Structure 1
Amino acid sequence: NYPKVPRHSVEEGLQAQGEAQGPVGAQGARAREGAAAAPSSSTLSSCPSSSSSFSSYSLILDTTREVFAAGMLSPIKGPQRSFSFSTCMKATASLKSDQGSSRREEASPSTSEDRPVAKTLIREGINDKVADLVRFLLLKYRTKELITKEEMLNDVIKDYRDHFSEIFKEASECMNLVFGIDVKEVDPDGHSYDLVIALGLTYDGMLDDYQSLPKTGLLINVLGVIFLEGNCAAEEVIWEVLGVMGVQAGQEHSIYGEPRKLITHDWVQEGYLVYRQVPFSDPVRYEFLWGPRVCAETSKMKILEFVAKVNDTVPSAFPVWYEEALRDEEARRQAKVEVRPSWGAWPRALCRATTKRPCPK
C-alpha cells in the first residue's frame, strides 16, 4: 500500500524495485529573454535568420520564466491554470533525497473563521496533495502499472476528496509539461488510467537507476525551440533557452541529470536530434535539427500543440508555425502512411516534405 504518501516512501519503493530487478542497462536516452538579440549573421550559421521566431518564443517562455531556477519555481501565468511548477518540483526532490522530508500533517480543510487564512491553508494542502500524487504517478510509471481513481482517492487524496478534480488536473499537467508523460484514461467506466510518453514519442531517457526520472519534457522543449527557430537552432540558442529553465551544461539537474551528454550524445544516438558543425564557422560552432526519429514518431502540429498548451492558447495563435504545421500534416496525408514504420525506415521523402531543409545524411 501507499498509506500516507510520505516523501521517502516512493523513493524506497523505487529503490526496492531496482534491487529486485537488478541491473538492466540503460535504454538505447524555454527562452530567450525578450531583450535578447538574435545571433549576428556574421557567425556564419547555416540556420536561417529568425529574429521573429526569437521574439515569439520569448513570448511563449514568458509564461514559464525561471521555471526551474534554484528550486524556487514560478507558477505558470494564465487565467485558466493554477498549476505551479514548485509543487511539481517538491514532488521530485523527494525522489532524490530524504532531506527536508518533513511535511504538513494530514488535516481536513480548515473551518476557521479567518477565511483568508483558511483559504491559504486549503491551497497549501492541495499543493501538498498535488506533490504527493505526482510522486505516486512517477512510481506507477516506473512500475508500468495502471492507476485507478479509487486508488488515488484512498491512498493519496484522502481528506481532500472534494478537491480531487483540481488535484488530478494539476498533477496531470505537471506530468505532461515537466516530464513529458500523459495521463490517459483507458477505462471510463472503471476510471482507470495509463501513463504514456507524450506526443507519440517512444523514449523517456530513464536508466535502470531507481532515482532516474523521465526526461521527455526536456526533449519536447528542445524540439519546440528547433521548430520555432526555423527547423534549425544554433547551439547557443538551445543553451540560452534551457538556461531560463535552470538547465545548464555541465551542471547536474535534479530531473534531467547532466544535460550536455543527454542533448549532444544520447538524443543524437537515439535519432531524435542532429548535432552538426556549422559550415565554415570560425571559431567552430554547432547547431541542432530534428532527427529522423522525430519525423517517424510525432509531428510539427503535435509539438506546436504542446507549445500552445504551455501558453494557455491554441496552435493557431502562432500563425506562421501553424501554417507550416498544416503543410506538414497535408504532406503526411499525401504520403498515405498506413502503418508507422520504425524511425530508421521512415521515408526520407516525407521528412524532406515536412522541413525546409534536407534530412541529415
Structure 2
Amino acid sequence: MPRGQKSKLRAREKRRQAREENKDVKGAQATVVEQEKSISPSSPHYKENPQSSSAAGTASDQQKPGKGPSSTAAAAAASSTRSNEGATSQVEEKPNASQAQASTEHKQQDLVENKAIMLVRYLLFKYQMKEPITKVDMLRNVIKTDKNHFPEILSRASRHLELVFGLDMKEVDPNRSLYVLVNKLERSCHGRVNDNTGMAKTGLLMTVLAVIFSKGNCATEEQIWEVLNEMGIYDGEEHVIYGEPRKLFTEDMVKEKYLEYRQAPNSDPPSYEFLWGPRAYAETSKMKVLEFFAKIHHSVPSAFPPLYEEALRDEEERARARVAARAHPAAMASAHSRAVSSSFSCPK
C-alpha cells in the first residue's frame, strides 16, 4: 500500500476514535440522567418491559498510585472497548477486511453495552421496590435471546452500579442464583433509591472520600476541584445530575456530616480543605473506599501499599471497637447482677 494512503488511513482512524470518545462521554452522562429518571416505581410495567438506552460510555483511565480518580463517575461506569495496536496495523494492511471485522465487533459491543444499561435500570427498579433479584428474572426480562453474553453483561452492569450509584451487587444464594444490591453507605442498605444523597451522588461522594483518603486524610479544595474538573464538574456551573457542585460539597454534604469543610490552619490568605465527616466514618470505612478507589483504577487495594496498610490498621481498630462495644453491655449486666444479689443477701 502506498505510504500516502497509509497516512490518510491512520489520520482517518484517529479522527474516528476522537469522535467516538467524545460521543461516549456525553452518552454515558445521558445514561445516568435517564437512569435517575427511569427508576421511579410509577413507571408502568417496567418490570416486564425495561426500556433500552442507546447510550454507551468510556472506561476510566488508569491512574498512578496516589492520584485521585480522574474519570467521571458516569464515564468510569460505562465501559467501552478501543482498537488496539494490532487492529490499527490491520487497518493499514487490509482496510476492507479490518473495517468489516471492526464493524462486527463494534456492533457486538454495542449490544452488550446496551443490554448492560437496560439491566442497570431493571436492577435499580428491583432495588427500589425491595424485590428479590434472580438470574432467571434477569434472563427473562432483560437478557432474553442474548443469554450467551450474560456473564459479560452482568459484569458491566455491576461495574456501572458500583461506580455510578455506589451499589455493590452480591450473590447471596448461589443455588438459586439470588442477588442483592448493597449500598456502600451502610445507612442506606435498606433505604430507598431516592434518599437524601441521591443514588448518583453516592458514587460521587465515594470518589471524593477516596481523594481525601489518598491525600493523607485531608485534601485541599484545589485538589478536590482538580479531580472534579476532570470529571466534568466545575465550580459555579450547574450540573445536570448533581446540581450546583459547590453547594453540594461545601453545604449539603457538610450539613449531612459526610464531609468536613474548614479553613486550613495558619493559611494566609485563607485556603480551605476537606476531611471525612463523622457520618462517613460511621457508614463506610477506609478499606471500602480504597476498594472503590482501586476499582476505578482497574486495580486491587494492595497495589497501593501505604493506603492499604492504613486501611488494614483502620479495620483492626474497628474490630477492637466492636468487641469492646459487645463486652461493655455484658460487663454492665454482670455488675448489675452482682449488685442485685448483694442487696438481697441475708445479714450475718
TM-score bucket of the superposed structures, by smaller chain: 0.5 to 0.7
Identity %: 49
1:84 and 2:84 aligned: no
The equivalences for 1:224-263 within 5 A come to: 224-263=210-249
Structure-2 residue corresponding to 1:357: none
| 1:266 and 2:266 matched | no
Q: C-alpha offsets along residues 11-40 of structure 1, whole Å, 9 cap, x if unaligned?
A: 46627269xxxxxxxxxxxxxx99xxxxxx
Q: What is the 5 A alignment of 1:53-132?
A: 56-58=65-67, 61=69, 65-67=70-72, 73=75, 84-85=78-79, 115-132=101-118
Alignment-derived partner of residue 79 in structure 1: none
Q: Aligned letter for 1:191? A: S
User: Would the alpha carbon gap of residues 297 and 147 (structure 1) be closer, same or farther in structure 2, given more than 3 Å must change?
Assistant: same
2:25 matches 1:16: no
Distance 1:267 1:85, change over 3 A: farther
What secondary structure is seen at the aligned counterpart in 1 of 2:308?
Answer: helix
Q: Tell me: CA distance 1:172–1:118, structure 2 relative to 1, closer, same or farther (3 Å).
A: same
2:166 aligned with 1:166, yes or no? no
- TM-score, structure 1 length as denominator? 0.62
Q: Alpha-carbon deviation of 1:234?
A: 1.0
Q: Take 2:313 and 2:36, find their aligned partners in 1: how far apart are those partners? A: 45
Q: What SS is found at the alignment partner of 1:214?
A: helix
| Higher deviation after alignment, 227-236 or 267-276 | 267-276
CA contact (8 A) 1:205 1:216 kept: no
Distance 1:339 1:199 in 2: 21
CA shift for structure 1 position 279 = 2.9
Partner Cα distance (1:205, 1:239) in 2: 29
Determine helix, strand or coil for the equivalent of 1:289: strand
CA positional deviation for 1:308: 1.6
Alpha-carbon deviation of 1:273?
1.1
Alignment of 1:36-47 (within 5 A): none
1:202 aligned to which of 175, 184, 188: 188
Q: Report the counterpart of residue 281 of structure 2 in structure 1.
A: 295
Answer yes or no: is 1:312 the counterpart of 2:312: no
Q: How many residues align?
A: 258
2:209 corresponds, among 219, 223, 233, to: 223
* 1:284 correspondence with 2:278: no
Structure with greater helix percent: 2
Matched residue type, 1:56: P
Instruction: Compare 254-263 and 199-208 and name the one that shifted more.
Output: 199-208
Structure showing greater Rg: 2
Secondary structure of the residue aligned to 1:196 is strand
Q: Which runs of 5+ in 1 are unaligned?
A: 1-6, 19-32, 35-53, 77-82, 88-113, 341-361
Query: How far apart are the structure 2 equivalents of 1:202 and 1:176?
Result: 14
Q: Which runs of 5+ in 2 are unaligned?
A: 1-32, 45-60, 82-99, 327-348
Aligned equivalents of 2:66, 2:325: Cα separation in 1: 33
Deviations 1:101-141 (A, max 9, x none): xxxxxxxxxxxxx5443322211111111111122222223
TM-score normalised by length of structure 2: 0.64
One-letter identity of the residue aligned with 1:188:
P
RMSD: 3.5
Q: Structure 1 residues 324, 268: CA separation in 2 closer, same or farther (over 3 Å shift)?
A: same
Structure with the bigger RCO (C-alpha within 8 Å, sep 6+) is 1
Tell me the amino acid that sits aligned with residue 224 of structure 1: A
1:180-195 correspondence to structure 2 within 5 Å: 180-195=166-181
CA deviations on 1:208-251 (whole Å, 9 max, x unpaired) are 79xx6431111111111111111111112111111111122333
CA change 1:147–1:55 in 2 (3 A) is: closer
* Partner Cα separation in structure 1 for residue 80 and residue 239 of structure 2: 15
Residues 337 and 272 (structure 1), Cα distance of their counterparts in 2 relative to 1, 3 Å cut = farther
State the secondary structure of the residue aligned to 1:215: helix
1:195 aligned counterpart, secondary structure? strand
- Which of 105, 116, 136 aligns to 1:150? It is 136
* Amino acid aligned to 2:287: M
Which is worse superposed, 9-18 or 215-224?
9-18
Q: CA deviation at 1:55?
A: 6.5
Match of 2:124 in 1: 138
